[in-house]
Amino acid sequence: MTTTTHERERPRIEAPRAERGPGWARRLRKDWWIYLFLLPTILGYGAYTVYPLLASWWFAFLDWPGFADVGTFVGFENFARLLEDDLFWNAFWNSIVFLVIAVPLRVGLALGLAIVLNSKKTPFKGFFRTLFFLPVVTTGAIVGVVFTLLLDASGPISVSMVWAGLIDSPANFAADAGTSLYAGIAVWVWKWLGITLIYWLAALQTVPQGVHEAAMIDGAGAWAEFRHVTMPLLVPFLVIITLIDTVAAFNVFDLMQTLTGGGPSFSSEVIEIFIFRTAFQANVPQLGYASAAAVLFGVLTVLFAIAQALGMRWARGRMGTS
């Protein structure tokens, strides 16, 4: 087909260009009073978050006990000491064990509870959702103090286990070197299970009801329907929830400090407690050395945060193409 002269000479209609809004400086002059209300938050965040973060990087290169006005610059000596410090590696591996056990437990248990509480056949769903979420709003330090009493040899947990024949004699699970870290893991999972439960309930709401009905019409049982239909649709949410819980598993200082204090014999000491003990509880405080440990811990957390961002980006792409 040939193009006529009239069609060739037809003018092109261009889409209107979006007008640019006023610049940042102009908006600041116009709405300065709005930013005035943000000033206290900005100053507080800068003084108590940004400054300590930047200062810790500088202190990491100093031999500084905290008493002198300035420390002695030692370069990477603190980092070299950390790599040879058995107590640091003990705390590091305790943190890894905590993460490897606690995160799958929290994610898996929350998913199972979410499936039950998302079912139309489950009675009192609102009550149980509130019940599981209550520990989330309780301060971690308070939870730790309460569980030191519950996990004591004379506490109800130990007494109940002896009565049920699960253990031979009463045991203080938080004060035993073989169980203290695992006791902390159990308490942490219990405390934060509710927030992961909310994540899974929100994820289950995105699965179309027609998908469940189609699986039932095809004769799929409950397990087959979940395995082959529901779970593949939840994979992007699984990635996001797991990464969120992984980052959260590094922030257990308040709970572990009040529950076990890192003991006994450093058996439950995680990196956060190692940093705190080195900086403030040693006979001679070592703020420079503790700052070096905090920097390494911060780098590890940042790497997981980057993984979280990449995982979320992949999950959004997966949900967009599904």
pLDDT tens for each residue of 247-263: 889 889 999 999 999 98
Q: Which of 246, 282, 238, 279 is nearest to 111 (CA)?
A: 238
The confidence score (pLDDT) of residue 213 equals 63
Residue 13: the pLDDT is: 52
The structure tokens listed for 294 are: 């905090």
pTM over 0.95: no
Task: Give residue 77's identity as a one-letter amino acid code.
Answer: E
Q: Which two tokens stand for residue 253?
A: 């200082």
For the chain, percent of residues with pLDDT exceeding 70:
87
User: pLDDT confidence of 94, banded at 50, 70, 90?
Assistant: very high
Range from 17-21, 144-148, 308-312 carrying the lowest mean pLDDT: 17-21
What is the residue type of 117? Answer: L
As a whole number of angstroms, the distance between CA 270 and CA 87 comes to 10
Q: In whole angstroms, what separates CA 24 from the centre of its chain?
A: 34
Which pLDDT tens digit goes with each residue over 278-312? 988 877 788 899 999 999 888 888 887 787 778 77
